[in-house]
Structure 1
C-alpha cells in the first residue's frame, strides 16, 4: 500500500469489515457438525441448565448463491479490485444457540456458527477440519427485576441506532461481534447504552497492537414523531498505525402522517497514523407512503480529502458501520474511506418499495455515487447503481429472497484501480430458522 494512504485503512475498524464476505461460507457436512456440536454446547451449559427457569435452543441455516461479473481479482491500495471474469458460488451460514434464563435475572447465551463456501473441501473424508467454525456470541447478562438495567459481558453483536457507525453487518454470512462489556438503562424507548470493547490485544499471537472502542449512545423517544439518538465513540490503537479518534453526532428519525424522515450528522476529530483528523458526515431522507408502497429520496455526504500527502486528513471513516444497508447492494463501498480512495462519497438515491401481499415485498433502489473531492482524479463520478430485490416469507421459519444489481461504472472507479467496466451482481437466498 502507498504509505500516503495508510491512514485510509479502517481507522476505527481493526478487522477489515466484510472484506471477502463472498469468499466465506458452508458445505454439505455442516448439519452433521452442528448435530455433533449441540451435545457439547448443552454440556458446556449443563450447570446453568440444571437451575434454569427457561431454556431455549435455536438455530439458522442460510445458503446464498451469487454471481458477480466482473468478479474479485484481489485487494489493492484502495480496497477490493474487480477485474476477473464472472464468478458464481454459494456460501452458507449455519448457527446453533442455547439461551438460558436463570434465577436472579441472570442470562447465559452461547451461539456457534460455521461459515464457508460450498465445495471448499474436495472430500469431507479427507478434510474434516472446522476451519471456519467459531463462537459468534457468548455472553452473560445481569438485569434488574423490571429489565430497565442491563449489564453484559462477553462476545456480542451490537447495533446502535441505524447501524451507521456500529452494526453487526448481518448480511455477511459471518457477521460482526465484539469482545467486551455493555451497560444499558432503557425504559419506554428512552435511555443510554455504554460500550467498552477490546478489538485487538498484542498478547494474542495474531495481533501486534492493542486496540479498543468505547462508546456512549443515548436515545430519547417521542421527539418530532420519532426518536433522537446521540452518539459519542472513541477509537484507540497503539503501534505504527496509531489511532486516537473521536466521533460525535446525532440521528433523528421519525414519521409524521404519511411522511417519514431521517436527519443525521457526525463529526470526527483526533489523530490517526500521525495525521490530524477533521472530518464529517451528513445524511437525510424523506419518504412518503403510497398505499401498499413507498417512495424515499435519500442523500448522504461523507467528507473527503483533495490532498492525501499532507499531515491532515479530512476523510470521514464509517467505523464499524453496516454499509451494505446504505451504499448499494452491490457492495462497492463496504470499507470506507479505503474504497473511495480517500475522496469521500456522495450518494443520491431514490428508493421504492411495493408490498404485493402480506408476505411479499419488492424493492427498487437507484443510486448515483460521486466523490466529494476530486483531487488527482479526472472526474468525481464513481458511477450509478440499480438494485432490484424481492422477498417472500413462506412462514415464520422460512423465507426466500433474490435480487439483481447493475453498476454503471464511472471513470473515477477505474482511475482508483477498482472497476474498469459495468458490473452485474445476482443472488438467491434461503433463510431458515428455528
Structure 2
C-alpha cells in the first residue's frame, strides 16, 4: 500500500515549531544563568532493581524443538543498575544521560535470547551495558521539545510504551514535540527513526528502524471526561511484517463512583509489509470502588483479517492480557480478553487479583485462562518490594505456564 503524504506534512510542521521555539529561547536568556552553572547544578540518580523470575512451562513439542533436550523450568536472577545525570536549566534547555547495566547473579539458567541457553524457557532480561537515554530538552511556555534517545509512553502504553517491566527498557531515537497542559488541550507528536528494543545490543533484533510517526492529542471535554485521538504510522525498514498505520480514539470518564474507559482503533498494512490486512481493536472497561476493593471489569479485542492479527509492536505488552505474556504477538485469529479483578490495601501494601479468559476473535476457539496475583509494599521512601504470581492454563493455545517474580527496587 502507498504511504500518504500525511507524515511528511507533520514533519514539516514539527520543524517549523522547533525553529520558532528555538528563536524564543534565544530571546529569553537569563542575565545570571550560565552554561557552566547549569552543568554544575546537575543531579545524579542511582536506581537498583534486583529480580528473580521463575518459570515453569510445559513444552510445546514440534519440529522446531524436538532436536533439543528441552527443560521446563527457568530461573533468572538479575540486577539492573541504572545511573543517570540531569543538568540544570540554561535558557530553557536541559540535558539528560542515562546508563543501564543488567547482570545475571548466580547461574543464568534461563534463555535471555542472547546467552545461548535455548533449552530453557525465555526470560527476556539479557546481560549488557548500554545508553538507555541521552537527550537535550527545551521547555518554554506550553511547549516541550526533546531530541535524542528518550522514553515515550502514550496513554496507557497499549500501543506505544517503554516496556518498563523488563530489565532492559525500550527507548526511542528521534524528536518529540509536546504542547499543552494536563487541564487543557494537549498535542504530542514524535518522529522516530529507531526503536531500541528490550533484547539488548548483542541481539540481532535489538533495533527496529524506519520512518515512525506518532501523533496523539487529548481534549478534556468536561470535568472528569477526556477524549484522545491518535495516529501511529510505522513504516518500518526492519521487521517489515509489523509495518502498519493505526488510528483511533479513546475515552476516559467518571460517573460518580464509576470509571469508564472506551477505546477503538483501526489498523492496516503499509510500506513493505507483505501482508494485506485491515483489523480493528476494541476496549470497554469499567471500574468502581466497592468498599475497600477497587474492582474492574473489562473486555478487550484485538481483531484479525486475512489470518493476520492486530499488531502492537511498540506496546508495553506485559501490562495487558496476563502476566505470563502468552500473547506478545497477536494470534492469526486475533484474541478476545474478558477480565475481572480488583485490588485493596493489605498490611501497608497493595494486593491485586485478576482473572482472564482468552478466546479467538475469529471463530470459536478457546485459548485458555489465567490468574494473576500481586502484592507490592513500600518499605521506605527509597526502597520497595513486589511479589507477583501468574498461572496460565491452556485450552487450544500455547501450553500451561506458571511464573513467579520477587523484586526489590531502591532509588538513591
Superposition TM-score, scaled by structure 2 size: 0.78
Shift in alpha-carbon separation, 1:120–1:406, aligned structure 2, 3 A: closer
Shift of 1:297: 0.6
Partner Cα separation in structure 1 for residue 230 and residue 346 of structure 2: 37
SS in 1 for 2:87: strand
Shift in alpha-carbon separation, 1:117–1:394, aligned structure 2, 3 A: same
Partner Cα separation in structure 2 for residue 75 and residue 317 of structure 1: 25
Please name the residue that 2:373 is paired with.
Answer: 388
2:144 is equivalent to residue 155 of structure 1: no
Partner Cα separation in structure 1 for residue 104 and residue 345 of structure 2: 33
Quick one: higher RCO (CA 8 Å, sep 6+), 1 or 2? 1
Q: Which one is further off, 220-229 or 108-117?
A: 220-229
Question: Please, which runs of 5 or more residues in structure 1 have no aligned partner?
Answer: 1-46, 78-82, 123-129
1:343 aligns with one of 312, 328, 333: 333
SS in 2 for 1:395: coil
Shift of 1:131: 6.1
Please name the residue that 1:68 is paired with.
Answer: 55
Partner Cα separation in structure 1 for residue 258 and residue 180 of structure 2: 27
Partner Cα separation in structure 2 for residue 173 and residue 153 of structure 1: 24
Partner Cα separation in structure 1 for residue 108 and residue 224 of structure 2: 53
Shift in alpha-carbon separation, 1:114–1:72, aligned structure 2, 3 A: farther
Instruction: Report the RMSD for the aligned CA atoms in angstroms.
Output: 3.1
Please name the residue that 2:287 is paired with.
Answer: 287
Superposition TM-score, scaled by structure 1 size: 0.74
Shift in alpha-carbon separation, 1:135–1:366, aligned structure 2, 3 A: same
2:361 is equivalent to residue 362 of structure 1: no
Please name the residue that 2:360 is paired with.
Answer: 371
2:319 aligns with one of 325, 330, 335: 325
Shift of 1:239: 7.6
Aligned length: 351
2:131 aligns with one of 126, 132, 135: 135
Cα contact 1:361–1:391 (8 A) shared by 2 = yes
Alignment of 1:24-43 (within 5 A): none
Question: Please, which runs of 5 or more residues in structure 2 have no aligned partner?
Answer: 1-33, 65-69, 110-125
SS in 1 for 2:314: coil
Partner Cα separation in structure 1 for residue 326 and residue 345 of structure 2: 28
Shift in alpha-carbon separation, 1:368–1:86, aligned structure 2, 3 A: same
Please name the residue that 1:101 is paired with.
Answer: 88
Please name the residue that 1:198 is paired with.
Answer: 193
Please name the residue that 1:114 is paired with.
Answer: 101
Shift in alpha-carbon separation, 1:116–1:332, aligned structure 2, 3 A: farther
